[in-house]
Amino acid sequence: SRRITVRDIAAAKERGEKWPMLTAYDAMTASVFDEAGIPVLLVGDSMGNCHLGYESTVPVTMDEITLLSAAVVRGTKRSLVVGDLPFGSYQEGPVQALRSATRLVKEAGVGAVKLEGGERSAEQVELLVSSGIPVMAHVGLTPQSVNAYGGYPVQGRGEEAAQQLLRDAKAVQDAGAFAVVLEAVPAELAAEVTRSLHIPTVGIGAGLECDAQVLVWTDMAGMTAGRVPKFVKQYLNMRELLGGAAKEFAQEVVGGTFPAEEHTFH
Protein backbone atom coordinates (compact mmCIF):
# COMPACT_ATOMS: atom_id res chain seq x y z
CA SER A 1 0.00 0.00 0.00
CA ARG A 2 1.30 3.43 -0.97
CA ARG A 3 1.90 6.46 1.22
CA ILE A 4 -0.84 8.98 1.95
CA THR A 5 -0.43 12.14 -0.13
CA VAL A 6 -1.84 15.65 -0.04
CA ARG A 7 -4.36 14.54 -2.69
CA ASP A 8 -5.84 12.06 -0.19
CA ILE A 9 -6.08 14.91 2.33
CA ALA A 10 -8.01 17.09 -0.16
CA ALA A 11 -10.33 14.17 -0.96
CA ALA A 12 -11.08 13.65 2.75
CA LYS A 13 -12.33 17.25 3.08
CA GLU A 14 -14.57 16.75 0.03
CA ARG A 15 -16.06 13.64 1.64
CA GLY A 16 -16.42 15.43 4.98
CA GLU A 17 -14.12 12.91 6.70
CA LYS A 18 -12.21 13.91 9.84
CA TRP A 19 -8.63 12.71 10.38
CA PRO A 20 -6.05 12.56 13.17
CA MET A 21 -2.47 13.82 13.20
CA LEU A 22 0.19 13.10 15.82
CA THR A 23 3.72 14.35 16.23
CA ALA A 24 6.63 11.89 16.06
CA TYR A 25 10.35 12.42 16.62
CA ASP A 26 11.91 8.97 16.14
CA ALA A 27 11.58 5.92 13.91
CA MET A 28 10.27 3.47 16.53
CA THR A 29 7.45 5.66 17.85
CA ALA A 30 6.59 6.67 14.29
CA SER A 31 6.27 3.01 13.30
CA VAL A 32 3.73 2.50 16.11
CA PHE A 33 1.59 5.38 14.83
CA ASP A 34 2.01 4.26 11.20
CA GLU A 35 0.79 0.77 12.14
CA ALA A 36 -2.08 2.34 14.14
CA GLY A 37 -3.24 4.00 10.93
CA ILE A 38 -2.50 7.64 11.78
CA PRO A 39 -2.51 9.15 8.26
CA VAL A 40 -0.35 12.22 8.93
CA LEU A 41 2.69 12.47 11.23
CA LEU A 42 4.23 15.83 12.05
CA VAL A 43 7.90 16.04 12.95
CA GLY A 44 7.07 19.17 14.94
CA ASP A 45 9.52 21.66 16.27
CA SER A 46 7.79 20.74 19.55
CA MET A 47 10.73 18.29 19.57
CA GLY A 48 12.49 21.22 21.24
CA ASN A 49 10.39 20.79 24.38
CA CYS A 50 9.47 17.10 24.06
CA HIS A 51 12.58 15.42 22.78
CA LEU A 52 15.61 17.68 23.02
CA GLY A 53 15.12 19.27 26.44
CA TYR A 54 14.89 22.93 25.37
CA GLU A 55 12.45 25.30 27.08
CA SER A 56 10.68 26.29 23.85
CA THR A 57 10.71 25.57 20.12
CA VAL A 58 12.88 28.62 19.43
CA PRO A 59 16.35 26.94 19.63
CA VAL A 60 15.47 24.03 17.29
CA THR A 61 17.73 23.91 14.22
CA MET A 62 17.41 22.66 10.64
CA ASP A 63 20.01 19.97 11.44
CA GLU A 64 17.82 18.64 14.29
CA ILE A 65 14.58 18.72 12.27
CA THR A 66 16.30 17.07 9.29
CA LEU A 67 17.86 14.27 11.38
CA LEU A 68 14.62 13.39 13.19
CA SER A 69 12.44 13.79 10.08
CA ALA A 70 14.64 11.28 8.26
CA ALA A 71 14.19 8.85 11.17
CA VAL A 72 10.39 9.25 11.08
CA VAL A 73 10.31 8.69 7.31
CA ARG A 74 12.42 5.52 7.73
CA GLY A 75 10.10 4.27 10.46
CA THR A 76 6.92 4.62 8.41
CA LYS A 77 5.38 3.04 5.33
CA ARG A 78 2.01 4.68 4.93
CA SER A 79 1.81 7.96 6.88
CA LEU A 80 2.36 11.31 5.20
CA VAL A 81 5.34 12.80 7.04
CA VAL A 82 5.29 16.59 7.47
CA GLY A 83 8.51 18.30 8.57
CA ASP A 84 8.24 21.54 10.58
CA LEU A 85 10.40 24.47 9.47
CA PRO A 86 12.14 25.71 12.63
CA PHE A 87 12.41 29.31 13.82
CA GLY A 88 14.83 31.29 11.67
CA SER A 89 14.70 28.94 8.67
CA TYR A 90 12.03 30.79 6.64
CA GLN A 91 11.42 34.26 8.15
CA GLU A 92 14.05 35.96 5.94
CA GLY A 93 11.87 35.40 2.92
CA PRO A 94 10.66 33.00 0.24
CA VAL A 95 14.13 32.10 -1.04
CA GLN A 96 15.37 31.11 2.43
CA ALA A 97 12.15 29.16 2.98
CA LEU A 98 12.63 27.29 -0.29
CA ARG A 99 16.24 26.44 0.60
CA SER A 100 15.18 25.06 4.00
CA ALA A 101 12.16 23.17 2.70
CA THR A 102 14.16 21.68 -0.18
CA ARG A 103 16.71 20.35 2.30
CA LEU A 104 13.96 18.63 4.31
CA VAL A 105 12.44 17.09 1.19
CA LYS A 106 15.77 15.92 -0.28
CA GLU A 107 17.68 14.86 2.84
CA ALA A 108 14.85 13.60 5.04
CA GLY A 109 12.30 12.56 2.42
CA VAL A 110 9.31 14.36 3.93
CA GLY A 111 6.17 14.66 1.81
CA ALA A 112 5.32 18.17 3.00
CA VAL A 113 6.57 20.93 5.27
CA LYS A 114 4.87 23.16 7.83
CA LEU A 115 5.59 26.77 8.73
CA GLU A 116 4.05 29.32 11.09
CA GLY A 117 2.22 32.51 10.10
CA GLY A 118 -0.72 33.64 7.96
CA GLU A 119 -0.42 36.81 5.90
CA ARG A 120 3.17 37.26 7.07
CA SER A 121 4.21 33.89 5.56
CA ALA A 122 2.01 33.85 2.45
CA GLU A 123 4.86 34.64 0.02
CA GLN A 124 6.89 31.77 1.45
CA VAL A 125 3.94 29.38 1.05
CA GLU A 126 3.41 30.51 -2.54
CA LEU A 127 7.03 29.90 -3.64
CA LEU A 128 7.24 26.50 -1.93
CA VAL A 129 3.95 25.31 -3.43
CA SER A 130 4.83 26.58 -6.92
CA SER A 131 8.16 24.74 -6.54
CA GLY A 132 6.41 21.46 -5.86
CA ILE A 133 6.58 21.29 -2.06
CA PRO A 134 3.22 20.87 -0.31
CA VAL A 135 2.82 23.23 2.64
CA MET A 136 0.79 22.97 5.83
CA ALA A 137 0.36 26.43 7.37
CA HIS A 138 -0.11 27.23 11.08
CA VAL A 139 -2.07 30.22 12.42
CA GLY A 140 -3.56 31.30 15.72
CA LEU A 141 -1.02 30.67 18.47
CA THR A 142 2.37 30.26 16.79
CA PRO A 143 4.79 29.04 19.48
CA GLN A 144 7.92 30.32 17.71
CA SER A 145 6.67 33.81 18.71
CA VAL A 146 6.77 32.97 22.45
CA ASN A 147 9.16 35.83 23.19
CA ALA A 148 6.84 38.34 21.51
CA TYR A 149 3.72 36.94 23.23
CA GLY A 150 5.37 36.61 26.64
CA GLY A 151 3.70 33.21 27.02
CA TYR A 152 1.18 31.07 25.13
CA PRO A 153 -2.09 33.08 25.13
CA VAL A 154 -5.32 31.97 23.41
CA GLN A 155 -5.64 33.80 20.07
CA GLY A 156 -8.49 35.35 18.09
CA ARG A 157 -10.45 36.74 21.04
CA GLY A 158 -12.33 39.95 20.19
CA GLU A 159 -13.68 41.09 16.85
CA GLU A 160 -10.45 42.58 15.50
CA ALA A 161 -8.33 39.52 16.35
CA ALA A 162 -11.01 37.23 14.91
CA GLN A 163 -11.03 39.13 11.60
CA GLN A 164 -7.21 38.96 11.46
CA LEU A 165 -7.29 35.20 12.03
CA LEU A 166 -9.79 34.77 9.19
CA ARG A 167 -7.56 36.89 6.90
CA ASP A 168 -4.51 34.82 7.93
CA ALA A 169 -6.23 31.51 7.17
CA LYS A 170 -7.51 32.82 3.81
CA ALA A 171 -4.07 34.15 2.92
CA VAL A 172 -2.34 30.78 3.29
CA GLN A 173 -5.17 29.01 1.48
CA ASP A 174 -4.88 31.49 -1.42
CA ALA A 175 -1.10 30.98 -1.40
CA GLY A 176 -1.69 27.25 -1.97
CA ALA A 177 -1.37 25.59 1.45
CA PHE A 178 -2.98 22.12 1.52
CA ALA A 179 -4.06 22.43 5.18
CA VAL A 180 -3.80 24.89 8.05
CA VAL A 181 -3.24 24.26 11.76
CA LEU A 182 -5.40 26.41 14.09
CA GLU A 183 -3.79 26.52 17.52
CA ALA A 184 -5.44 27.84 20.72
CA VAL A 185 -8.42 29.49 19.06
CA PRO A 186 -11.98 29.73 20.44
CA ALA A 187 -14.09 26.87 19.05
CA GLU A 188 -16.70 29.21 17.52
CA LEU A 189 -14.06 31.08 15.54
CA ALA A 190 -12.30 27.86 14.46
CA ALA A 191 -15.68 26.58 13.22
CA GLU A 192 -16.19 29.76 11.20
CA VAL A 193 -12.69 29.47 9.68
CA THR A 194 -13.32 25.79 8.88
CA ARG A 195 -16.60 26.58 7.09
CA SER A 196 -15.05 29.40 5.09
CA LEU A 197 -12.05 27.42 3.77
CA HIS A 198 -11.89 24.69 1.13
CA ILE A 199 -8.66 23.30 2.64
CA PRO A 200 -8.83 21.31 5.88
CA THR A 201 -8.24 22.94 9.27
CA VAL A 202 -6.20 20.95 11.79
CA GLY A 203 -7.18 21.95 15.30
CA ILE A 204 -5.16 21.93 18.50
CA GLY A 205 -7.08 23.67 21.23
CA ALA A 206 -9.53 24.80 18.55
CA GLY A 207 -12.69 22.82 19.30
CA LEU A 208 -14.54 19.96 17.67
CA GLU A 209 -15.48 21.48 14.34
CA CYS A 210 -12.06 21.48 12.71
CA ASP A 211 -11.58 18.97 9.87
CA ALA A 212 -8.67 17.29 11.65
CA GLN A 213 -7.14 17.22 15.14
CA VAL A 214 -3.49 17.13 16.17
CA LEU A 215 -1.84 16.42 19.50
CA VAL A 216 1.78 16.27 20.57
CA TRP A 217 2.33 12.54 21.12
CA THR A 218 4.16 12.86 24.43
CA ASP A 219 1.23 14.92 25.76
CA MET A 220 -1.49 12.53 24.58
CA ALA A 221 0.44 9.51 25.88
CA GLY A 222 0.99 11.02 29.33
CA MET A 223 4.77 11.11 28.93
CA THR A 224 5.11 14.86 29.56
CA ALA A 225 6.18 15.81 33.11
CA GLY A 226 4.09 18.36 34.98
CA ARG A 227 1.17 20.39 33.69
CA VAL A 228 -0.17 20.00 30.18
CA PRO A 229 -2.38 22.55 28.37
CA LYS A 230 -6.18 22.45 28.85
CA PHE A 231 -6.68 21.18 25.29
CA VAL A 232 -4.64 17.99 25.86
CA LYS A 233 -6.36 14.68 26.49
CA GLN A 234 -4.12 12.00 28.02
CA TYR A 235 -5.01 8.63 26.50
CA LEU A 236 -2.34 6.79 28.47
CA ASN A 237 -0.22 7.36 31.56
CA MET A 238 3.03 6.37 29.91
CA ARG A 239 5.26 8.26 32.34
CA GLU A 240 3.92 6.20 35.25
CA LEU A 241 4.03 2.90 33.31
CA LEU A 242 7.58 3.39 32.03
CA GLY A 243 8.82 4.66 35.39
CA GLY A 244 7.24 1.60 37.04
CA ALA A 245 9.03 -0.73 34.63
CA ALA A 246 12.36 1.00 35.29
CA LYS A 247 11.85 0.68 39.07
CA GLU A 248 10.97 -3.01 38.76
CA PHE A 249 14.09 -3.65 36.66
CA ALA A 250 16.20 -1.79 39.23
CA GLN A 251 14.74 -3.80 42.12
CA GLU A 252 15.38 -7.10 40.36
CA VAL A 253 18.98 -6.18 39.58
CA VAL A 254 19.65 -5.03 43.16
CA GLY A 255 17.79 -8.06 44.56
CA GLY A 256 19.64 -10.52 42.31
CA THR A 257 16.56 -11.93 40.56
CA PHE A 258 17.33 -10.63 37.08
CA PRO A 259 18.54 -12.25 34.84
CA ALA A 260 16.57 -15.42 35.51
CA GLU A 261 17.38 -18.83 34.03
CA GLU A 262 15.40 -18.12 30.81
CA HIS A 263 17.47 -15.02 30.07
CA THR A 264 20.78 -16.83 30.55
CA PHE A 265 23.19 -18.59 28.10
CA HIS A 266 25.18 -21.69 29.11
Q: Which does 38 bind (CB under 5 to 8 A by kind): ligand KIV, Na ion, none?
A: none
Question: Which active-site residues does the annotation give?
Answer: 183
Distance CA 76, CA 114 (A): 19
Choose between 133 and 204: whose C-beta lies nearer to Na ion: 204
The residue (of 122 and 141) whose beta carbon lies closer to Na ion is: 141
DSSP secondary structure letter of residue 120: G
CA 183, 185, 191 angle in degrees (round to 5)? 105
Please spell the DSSP secondary structure of 5-23, one letter per residue. -HHHHHHHHHHT--EEEEE
Per-residue binding string, ligand KIV, 48-87, x by CB under 6 A, is ------------------------------------x---
How many residues form the binding site for Na ion (CB under 5 A)?
A: 3
Binding residues for Mg(2+): 45, 84, 116
| CB closer to ligand KIV, 230 vs 266 | 230
Total residues contacting ligand KIV by CB under 6 A comes to 11
The Cα 133–Cα 182 span in angstroms is: 21
Cα angle at 178 between 101 and 127, to 5 degrees? 40
Q: Considering only 28-36, 41-49, 97-105, 223-231, which stretch makes contact with ligand KIV by CB under 6 A?
A: 41-49
CA 120 to chain centroid, in Å, comes to 20
Instruction: Identify the helix (H) or strand (E) that includes residue 201.
Output: strand 201-204
Binding mask 120-139 for ligand KIV (x = CB under 6 A): ------------------x-
Q: Which is nearer to ligand KIV, 42 or 175 (CB)?
A: 42
DSSP string, 143-172: GGGHHHHTS------SHHHHHHHHHHHHHH
Binding site for ligand KIV (CB under 6 A): 23, 42, 44-46, 84, 138, 181, 204, 214, 216
Binding site for Na ion (CB under 5 A): 44-45, 84
